[in-house]
Amino acid sequence: MVNKDITYVGRESRTALIKTTLLPRERQMRRNLEVWKMGTINYLEALKLQEKLASNRKALKITDTLLSLQHPPTYTVGKRETIHNLLIPDTELKSIGVELHYTQRGGDITFHGPHQAILYPIVSLRDIGLGARMYVEKLELTMIELASMYGVKAQAGQKCETGVWVEDRKIGAIGVRISSGITSHGLAFNMDPDLNYFKHIVPCGIVDKGVTSLKNETYVELPAEDVIQEQLIACFVRIFGYNDVVLKDKSVL
């Protein structure tokens, strides 16, 4: 059993420390995580940051790090470059206010945008004792747990359908990159994005299934989005078993 308390270290630092009290047998399993709350950040800027952090994590210069953020409207294509699942000419993207970027993550085309909670974990799978499949399953569980807090019954997809679903409607997407045991990219949970953006793509390459959001599925009045994002972080921390978590507000830096 783990007891967690959050103590704010100082107003000027905008940093919080989650302290945990461990039972004796758990002390040897102590795991540290640094969480960066980024606000809204351009996709390419976030990508470059991930690459830098992944390199530093591989070199043991930093601890496991979690980026919590949102993006302006952006379509991203995975390393298989399934651009055929973009349903409008890329020359028309500017007119609808969307950027298009190619990435080295797994998965198909997807949308990132305002009112979507995104987590990019930069973690060492070796240090936390996980393989790639179990890592993805824990990302799915993170979103499933968040949805359940609002009375929404979500579940992992069927075979070859990563992400999290409410019946046949996708509420959370996953696309990860693992290099030398270090993760990047991650998950995107739909709080209340403009779902019209998904009409211009075949989301994650899956035909004949829809996309939904927490706003559409719950009967509960949603709190402010930063509260939901903090709840998503808390779900991640619990599912992955981190004990000491430092929260840093980078959105004001």
- Annotated catalytic sites, by residue? 204
As beta bridge partners, residue 51 has none
Please give the Cα distance from 91 to 245 (Å, whole number). 44
Phi-psi region of 205 (alpha: psi -120 to 50; beta: other; left: phi over 0): left
Task: Pick the closest to residue 168 from 143, 141, 203 (CA basis).
Answer: 203
Given a contact cutoff of 8 angstroms between Cβ atoms, the answer to whether 88 and 128 are in contact is no
Please give the Cα distance from 201 to 234 (Å, whole number). 31
Tokens of 34: 């640094």
Please give the Cα distance from 138 to 236 (Å, whole number). 8
